Protein backbone atom coordinates (compact mmCIF):
# COMPACT_ATOMS: atom_id res chain seq x y z
CA UNK A 1 0.00 0.00 0.00
CA UNK A 2 1.67 3.17 -1.24
CA UNK A 3 0.09 6.38 0.01
CA UNK A 4 0.98 9.88 -1.17
CA UNK A 5 0.22 12.95 0.94
CA UNK A 6 -0.92 16.39 -0.19
CA UNK A 7 -1.19 15.04 -3.73
CA UNK A 8 -2.13 17.21 -6.72
CA UNK A 9 -5.29 16.02 -8.47
CA UNK A 10 -4.91 18.45 -11.36
CA UNK A 11 -3.70 15.82 -13.88
CA UNK A 12 -6.39 13.33 -12.79
CA UNK A 13 -9.58 15.17 -13.74
CA UNK A 14 -10.46 16.75 -17.07
CA UNK A 15 -11.42 20.21 -15.76
CA UNK A 16 -7.81 20.49 -14.52
CA UNK A 17 -8.61 22.76 -11.57
CA UNK A 18 -5.75 23.09 -9.10
CA UNK A 19 -6.82 20.98 -6.11
CA UNK A 20 -5.08 18.54 -3.78
CA UNK A 21 -5.99 15.34 -1.97
CA UNK A 22 -4.96 14.86 1.64
CA UNK A 23 -3.97 11.30 0.66
CA UNK A 24 -3.85 9.47 -2.67
CA UNK A 25 -3.32 5.87 -3.79
CA UNK A 26 -4.02 3.61 -6.76
CA UNK A 27 -5.45 0.09 -6.76
CA UNK A 28 -5.12 -2.58 -9.45
CA UNK A 29 -6.60 -5.55 -7.57
CA UNK A 30 -9.56 -6.27 -5.32
CA UNK A 31 -7.15 -7.08 -2.51
CA UNK A 32 -5.53 -3.65 -2.78
CA UNK A 33 -8.95 -1.99 -2.86
CA UNK A 34 -10.08 -3.83 0.28
CA UNK A 35 -6.84 -2.97 2.09
CA UNK A 36 -7.07 0.72 1.20
CA UNK A 37 -10.73 1.00 2.16
CA UNK A 38 -9.96 -0.70 5.47
CA UNK A 39 -7.18 1.82 6.04
CA UNK A 40 -9.49 4.73 5.17
CA UNK A 41 -11.99 3.78 7.88
CA UNK A 42 -14.11 6.85 8.69
CA UNK A 43 -12.23 9.50 6.71
CA UNK A 44 -13.81 10.78 3.48
CA UNK A 45 -12.95 8.51 0.56
CA UNK A 46 -13.36 9.16 -3.16
CA UNK A 47 -13.03 6.56 -5.91
CA UNK A 48 -11.62 8.30 -8.97
CA UNK A 49 -11.91 6.91 -12.48
CA UNK A 50 -11.09 8.97 -15.56
CA UNK A 51 -12.12 12.19 -13.83
CA UNK A 52 -14.19 13.20 -16.85
CA UNK A 53 -17.47 13.87 -15.06
CA UNK A 54 -16.28 15.59 -11.91
CA UNK A 55 -15.64 19.16 -10.79
CA UNK A 56 -13.59 19.83 -7.67
CA UNK A 57 -14.46 23.10 -5.93
CA UNK A 58 -11.91 22.63 -3.13
CA UNK A 59 -9.15 20.34 -1.88
CA UNK A 60 -10.30 16.85 -0.91
CA UNK A 61 -9.78 16.35 2.82
CA UNK A 62 -9.49 12.58 2.74
CA UNK A 63 -8.29 9.63 0.66
CA UNK A 64 -8.63 9.55 -3.14
CA UNK A 65 -8.33 6.08 -4.70
CA UNK A 66 -7.55 5.86 -8.41
CA UNK A 67 -9.13 2.84 -10.13
CA UNK A 68 -6.60 0.90 -12.23
CA UNK A 69 -8.39 -2.47 -12.47
CA UNK A 70 -7.73 -3.97 -15.93
CA UNK A 71 -8.90 -6.87 -18.07
CA UNK A 72 -11.42 -7.75 -20.82
CA UNK A 73 -12.91 -11.27 -21.06
CA UNK A 74 -15.52 -12.97 -23.24
CA UNK A 75 -17.27 -14.91 -20.49
CA UNK A 76 -19.91 -16.68 -22.61
CA UNK A 77 -21.98 -16.51 -25.76
CA UNK A 78 -25.28 -17.85 -27.04
CA UNK A 79 -27.01 -17.90 -30.42
CA UNK A 80 -27.60 -14.15 -30.42
CA UNK A 81 -25.16 -12.46 -28.05
CA UNK A 82 -21.61 -12.17 -26.77
CA UNK A 83 -21.25 -11.50 -23.04
CA UNK A 84 -18.12 -9.40 -22.49
CA UNK A 85 -16.75 -8.49 -19.05
CA UNK A 86 -14.54 -5.43 -18.69
CA UNK A 87 -12.72 -4.34 -15.55
CA UNK A 88 -13.76 -0.96 -14.18
CA UNK A 89 -10.37 0.65 -14.82
CA UNK A 90 -10.40 0.04 -18.57
CA UNK A 91 -10.61 3.19 -20.71
CA UNK A 92 -14.13 3.32 -22.14
CA UNK A 93 -13.29 4.38 -25.70
CA UNK A 94 -10.52 1.77 -25.97
CA UNK A 95 -13.02 -0.86 -24.83
CA UNK A 96 -15.50 0.28 -27.50
CA UNK A 97 -12.82 0.00 -30.19
CA UNK A 98 -11.87 -3.46 -28.89
CA UNK A 99 -15.51 -4.62 -29.20
CA UNK A 100 -15.82 -3.22 -32.71
CA UNK A 101 -12.66 -5.05 -33.79
CA UNK A 102 -14.05 -8.30 -32.33
CA UNK A 103 -17.42 -7.67 -34.07
CA UNK A 104 -19.30 -7.37 -30.78
CA UNK A 105 -22.14 -5.11 -31.95
CA UNK A 106 -24.31 -2.48 -30.27
CA UNK A 107 -21.72 -0.36 -28.51
CA UNK A 108 -20.49 1.66 -31.50
CA UNK A 109 -22.72 4.72 -30.94
CA UNK A 110 -20.95 5.27 -27.61
CA UNK A 111 -17.55 5.90 -29.19
CA UNK A 112 -15.23 8.63 -27.90
CA UNK A 113 -17.06 9.18 -24.61
CA UNK A 114 -14.36 10.00 -22.05
CA UNK A 115 -13.93 8.09 -18.80
CA UNK A 116 -13.51 4.53 -17.60
CA UNK A 117 -15.77 1.47 -17.83
CA UNK A 118 -16.65 1.58 -14.13
CA UNK A 119 -18.30 4.98 -14.44
CA UNK A 120 -20.58 4.08 -17.36
CA UNK A 121 -23.35 2.34 -15.37
CA UNK A 122 -23.29 4.92 -12.56
CA UNK A 123 -24.97 7.51 -14.73
CA UNK A 124 -26.18 5.28 -17.56
CA UNK A 125 -24.07 7.08 -20.14
CA UNK A 126 -25.63 7.54 -23.53
CA UNK A 127 -25.18 9.13 -26.93
CA UNK A 128 -26.80 9.07 -30.36
CA UNK A 129 -29.79 6.97 -29.40
CA UNK A 130 -27.98 4.33 -27.29
CA UNK A 131 -27.61 4.09 -23.51
CA UNK A 132 -25.72 1.67 -21.30
CA UNK A 133 -29.00 0.04 -20.24
CA UNK A 134 -29.46 -1.12 -23.86
CA UNK A 135 -26.30 -3.26 -23.80
CA UNK A 136 -25.89 -3.92 -20.07
CA UNK A 137 -26.00 -7.43 -18.63
CA UNK A 138 -24.54 -7.34 -15.09
CA UNK A 139 -21.89 -5.79 -12.87
CA UNK A 140 -19.91 -6.61 -9.76
CA UNK A 141 -19.30 -4.11 -6.97
CA UNK A 142 -17.53 -4.08 -3.63
CA UNK A 143 -19.71 -3.11 -0.67
CA UNK A 144 -17.56 -0.71 1.33
CA UNK A 145 -19.11 -1.24 4.78
CA UNK A 146 -19.91 -4.95 4.51
CA UNK A 147 -16.56 -5.70 2.80
CA UNK A 148 -18.00 -8.13 0.28
CA UNK A 149 -18.69 -8.41 -3.45
CA UNK A 150 -22.26 -7.96 -4.70
CA UNK A 151 -23.65 -8.72 -8.17
CA UNK A 152 -26.18 -6.44 -9.87
CA UNK A 153 -28.54 -7.27 -12.73
CA UNK A 154 -30.10 -4.83 -15.18
CA UNK A 155 -33.19 -4.57 -12.99
CA UNK A 156 -31.11 -4.04 -9.84
CA UNK A 157 -29.42 -0.98 -11.33
CA UNK A 158 -32.73 0.85 -11.95
CA UNK A 159 -31.34 2.81 -14.88
CA UNK A 160 -32.94 6.12 -15.84
CA UNK A 161 -31.83 9.11 -17.88
CA UNK A 162 -28.27 9.64 -16.58
CA UNK A 163 -29.33 7.88 -13.38
CA UNK A 164 -28.86 4.60 -11.53
CA UNK A 165 -29.04 3.27 -7.97
CA UNK A 166 -25.36 4.18 -7.64
CA UNK A 167 -26.18 7.88 -7.89
CA UNK A 168 -29.17 7.62 -5.56
CA UNK A 169 -30.09 4.77 -3.25
CA UNK A 170 -26.56 3.32 -3.06
CA UNK A 171 -24.51 6.49 -3.50
CA UNK A 172 -21.00 6.12 -2.01
CA UNK A 173 -21.80 2.60 -0.75
CA UNK A 174 -20.19 0.54 -3.53
CA UNK A 175 -17.11 0.48 -5.72
CA UNK A 176 -17.91 -0.95 -9.17
CA UNK A 177 -15.17 -3.42 -10.10
CA UNK A 178 -16.32 -4.84 -13.45
CA UNK A 179 -19.20 -4.58 -15.92
CA UNK A 180 -20.53 -7.26 -18.29
CA UNK A 181 -22.16 -6.21 -21.55
CA UNK A 182 -24.53 -8.16 -23.80
CA UNK A 183 -23.47 -7.39 -27.37
CA UNK A 184 -25.16 -8.61 -30.52
CA UNK A 185 -23.85 -11.11 -33.02
CA UNK A 186 -26.16 -9.70 -35.67
CA UNK A 187 -25.78 -5.91 -35.95
CA UNK A 188 -28.77 -3.60 -35.78
CA UNK A 189 -27.52 -0.17 -36.76
CA UNK A 190 -28.90 2.95 -35.10
CA UNK A 191 -28.27 6.01 -37.30
CA UNK A 192 -31.49 7.97 -36.84
CA UNK A 193 -30.35 10.02 -33.83
CA UNK A 194 -28.34 13.21 -34.15
CA UNK A 195 -26.17 13.80 -37.20
CA UNK A 196 -24.91 10.25 -37.79
CA UNK A 197 -26.61 9.80 -41.16
CA UNK A 198 -25.36 13.17 -42.34
CA UNK A 199 -21.83 12.38 -41.17
CA UNK A 200 -21.87 9.05 -42.99
CA UNK A 201 -22.84 10.85 -46.20
CA UNK A 202 -20.19 13.55 -45.80
CA UNK A 203 -17.56 10.85 -45.18
CA UNK A 204 -18.83 9.02 -48.30
CA UNK A 205 -19.52 5.85 -46.34
CA UNK A 206 -22.11 3.78 -48.18
CA UNK A 207 -21.77 0.39 -46.46
CA UNK A 208 -23.03 0.33 -42.90
CA UNK A 209 -20.96 -1.40 -40.24
CA UNK A 210 -20.23 -0.93 -36.55
CA UNK A 211 -16.86 0.59 -37.46
CA UNK A 212 -18.46 2.97 -39.96
CA UNK A 213 -20.91 4.23 -37.35
CA UNK A 214 -18.12 4.51 -34.79
CA UNK A 215 -16.04 6.52 -37.27
CA UNK A 216 -19.02 8.82 -37.90
CA UNK A 217 -19.60 9.36 -34.18
CA UNK A 218 -15.90 10.07 -33.63
CA UNK A 219 -16.01 12.56 -36.51
CA UNK A 220 -19.06 14.33 -35.07
CA UNK A 221 -17.76 14.50 -31.51
CA UNK A 222 -14.29 15.63 -32.60
CA UNK A 223 -15.73 18.40 -34.77
CA UNK A 224 -17.90 20.00 -32.08
CA UNK A 225 -16.53 18.93 -28.70
CA UNK A 226 -13.23 20.27 -27.35
CA UNK A 227 -10.52 17.73 -26.54
CA UNK A 228 -10.15 17.87 -22.73
CA UNK A 229 -6.38 17.35 -23.13
CA UNK A 230 -6.23 20.60 -25.10
CA UNK A 231 -9.02 22.62 -23.48
CA UNK A 232 -10.05 21.34 -20.02
CA UNK A 233 -13.74 20.41 -19.75
CA UNK A 234 -16.01 17.60 -18.56
CA UNK A 235 -18.11 17.15 -21.67
CA UNK A 236 -21.82 17.81 -21.32
CA UNK A 237 -22.20 19.91 -18.19
CA UNK A 238 -26.02 19.75 -18.13
CA UNK A 239 -28.60 17.05 -18.75
CA UNK A 240 -31.05 17.46 -21.61
CA UNK A 241 -34.34 18.35 -19.87
CA UNK A 242 -37.45 16.23 -20.23
CA UNK A 243 -40.61 18.35 -20.32
CA UNK A 244 -44.33 17.88 -20.92
CA UNK A 245 -45.70 17.90 -24.44
CA UNK A 246 -47.88 20.84 -23.43
CA UNK A 247 -44.86 22.90 -22.36
CA UNK A 248 -42.99 21.85 -25.49
CA UNK A 249 -45.83 23.06 -27.71
CA UNK A 250 -46.06 26.37 -25.82
CA UNK A 251 -42.35 27.06 -26.34
CA UNK A 252 -42.54 26.02 -29.98
CA UNK A 253 -45.23 28.63 -30.67
CA UNK A 254 -42.60 31.32 -30.13
CA UNK A 255 -39.49 29.33 -31.10
CA UNK A 256 -40.28 27.25 -34.17
CA UNK A 257 -36.72 25.88 -34.38
CA UNK A 258 -37.18 23.85 -31.19
CA UNK A 259 -37.03 20.09 -31.73
CA UNK A 260 -37.44 17.19 -29.35
CA UNK A 261 -37.37 13.42 -28.97
CA UNK A 262 -40.58 12.00 -27.58
CA UNK A 263 -40.00 9.85 -24.49
CA UNK A 264 -43.61 8.69 -24.15
CA UNK A 265 -47.16 9.98 -24.65
CA UNK A 266 -46.62 12.79 -22.14
CA UNK A 267 -42.94 13.74 -22.17
CA UNK A 268 -40.40 15.08 -24.66
CA UNK A 269 -36.64 15.44 -24.25
CA UNK A 270 -35.25 18.68 -25.63
CA UNK A 271 -31.77 20.05 -26.15
CA UNK A 272 -30.17 21.84 -23.21
CA UNK A 273 -27.66 23.29 -25.69
CA UNK A 274 -30.51 24.89 -27.66
CA UNK A 275 -31.90 26.49 -24.48
CA UNK A 276 -28.49 27.79 -23.44
CA UNK A 277 -27.80 29.20 -26.88
CA UNK A 278 -31.19 30.94 -27.00
CA UNK A 279 -30.27 32.62 -23.72
CA UNK A 280 -27.13 34.02 -25.31
CA UNK A 281 -24.53 32.01 -23.41
CA UNK A 282 -22.86 30.14 -26.28
CA UNK A 283 -19.31 31.41 -26.67
CA UNK A 284 -19.52 33.61 -23.56
CA UNK A 285 -16.48 33.88 -21.32
CA UNK A 286 -15.88 35.29 -17.85
CA UNK A 287 -12.24 35.36 -16.86
CA UNK A 288 -11.03 31.78 -17.42
CA UNK A 289 -14.48 30.13 -17.53
CA UNK A 290 -16.41 29.89 -20.76
CA UNK A 291 -19.27 28.30 -22.67
CA UNK A 292 -17.73 26.58 -25.67
CA UNK A 293 -18.04 28.34 -29.01
CA UNK A 294 -19.18 25.21 -30.90
CA UNK A 295 -21.21 23.38 -28.24
CA UNK A 296 -23.16 25.35 -25.64
CA UNK A 297 -23.54 22.28 -23.43
CA UNK A 298 -19.82 22.26 -22.67
CA UNK A 299 -18.25 24.58 -20.10
CA UNK A 300 -14.49 25.00 -20.40
CA UNK A 301 -11.54 26.05 -18.29
CA UNK A 302 -9.41 28.41 -20.39
CA UNK A 303 -6.53 28.30 -17.94
CA UNK A 304 -6.70 28.94 -14.23
CA UNK A 305 -10.42 28.80 -13.43
CA UNK A 306 -11.37 27.49 -10.01
CA UNK A 307 -14.13 24.97 -9.45
CA UNK A 308 -16.17 27.60 -7.63
CA UNK A 309 -15.90 29.98 -10.59
CA UNK A 310 -17.14 27.24 -12.94
CA UNK A 311 -20.08 26.45 -10.62
CA UNK A 312 -20.99 30.16 -10.39
CA UNK A 313 -20.84 30.45 -14.19
CA UNK A 314 -23.17 27.45 -14.53
CA UNK A 315 -25.54 28.99 -12.00
CA UNK A 316 -25.91 32.03 -14.25
CA UNK A 317 -26.90 29.74 -17.14
CA UNK A 318 -29.40 27.86 -14.97
CA UNK A 319 -31.01 31.11 -13.81
CA UNK A 320 -31.34 32.55 -17.32
CA UNK A 321 -32.87 29.36 -18.76
CA UNK A 322 -35.30 29.22 -15.84
CA UNK A 323 -36.33 32.84 -16.32
CA UNK A 324 -36.74 32.59 -20.09
CA UNK A 325 -38.27 29.12 -20.50
CA UNK A 326 -39.41 28.06 -17.01
CA UNK A 327 -37.13 25.02 -17.26
CA UNK A 328 -34.60 24.17 -14.56
CA UNK A 329 -31.46 22.66 -16.00
CA UNK A 330 -29.78 19.93 -13.97
CA UNK A 331 -26.03 19.52 -13.87
CA UNK A 332 -24.70 16.22 -15.24
CA UNK A 333 -21.25 16.83 -13.77
CA UNK A 334 -20.66 15.76 -10.16
CA UNK A 335 -19.69 18.70 -7.95
CA UNK A 336 -17.29 17.98 -5.10
In a domain, 40, yes or no: yes
In a domain, 226, yes or no: no
Does residue 207 have a pLDDT over 90?
Answer: no
Q: Which of 85, 6, 14 is nearest to 48 (CA)?
A: 14
Please compute the mean of the pLDDT values over residues 47-76 and round it to a whole number. Answer: 94
Number of structural domains the chain divides into: 3
What pLDDT was estimated at residue 129?
Answer: 84
Average pLDDT of the chain, as a whole number: 92
Single residue among 67, 82, 104 that ends a domain in this structure: 67
What pLDDT was estimated at residue 3?
Answer: 92
Same domain as 179, residue 102: yes
pLDDT per residue as tens digits for the range 264-295: 788 999 999 999 999 999 999 999 999 999 99
Same domain as 178, residue 82: yes
* 236 annotated active-site: yes
Does residue 94 have a pLDDT over 90?
Answer: yes
Same domain as 96, residue 135: yes
Same domain as 247, residue 284: yes
| Structural domain boundaries enclosing 14 | 4-67
pLDDT per residue as tens digits for the range 105-116: 999 999 999 889
What's the helix, strand, coil split of the chain in %, to 5? 30, 30, 40
By DSSP bridging, strand 174-184 and strand 136-143 are antiparallel
Going by pLDDT thresholds of 50, 70 and 90, the confidence category of residue 194 is: low
Same domain as 82, residue 20: no
* 16 annotated active-site: no
Please compute the mean of the pLDDT values over residues 151-162 and round it to a whole number. Answer: 93
Same domain as 78, residue 176: yes
What pLDDT was estimated at residue 135?
Answer: 95
Task: Output the domain CATH number for residue 249.
Answer: 3.90.78.10
**Catalytic member of 162, 182, 221, 331:** 162
In a domain, 285, yes or no: yes
Single residue among 15, 43, 67 that ends a domain in this structure: 67
pLDDT per residue as tens digits for the range 114-125: 889 999 999 898
Q: Are 252 and 258 in contact (CB under 8 A)?
A: yes
Same domain as 31, residue 82: no
Going by pLDDT thresholds of 50, 70 and 90, the confidence category of residue 144 is: very high
In a domain, 220, yes or no: no
**Catalytic member of 214, 236, 314, 331:** 236
Does residue 242 have a pLDDT over 80?
Answer: yes
d(CA 262, CA 242): 9
* 214 annotated active-site: no
pTM reported for the whole predicted model: 0.86
In a domain, 77, yes or no: yes
Amino acid sequence: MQLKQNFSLQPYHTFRTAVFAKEFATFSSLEQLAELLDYAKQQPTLILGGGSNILFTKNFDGLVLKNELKGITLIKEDADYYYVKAAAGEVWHQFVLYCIEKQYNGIENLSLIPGLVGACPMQNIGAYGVEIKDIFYALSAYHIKEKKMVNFTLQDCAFGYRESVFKGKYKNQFVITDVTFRLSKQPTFNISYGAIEQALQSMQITTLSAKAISDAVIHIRSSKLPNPHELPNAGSFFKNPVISITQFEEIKKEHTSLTGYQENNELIKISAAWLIEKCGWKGCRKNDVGCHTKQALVLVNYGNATGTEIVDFSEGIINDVKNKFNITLQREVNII
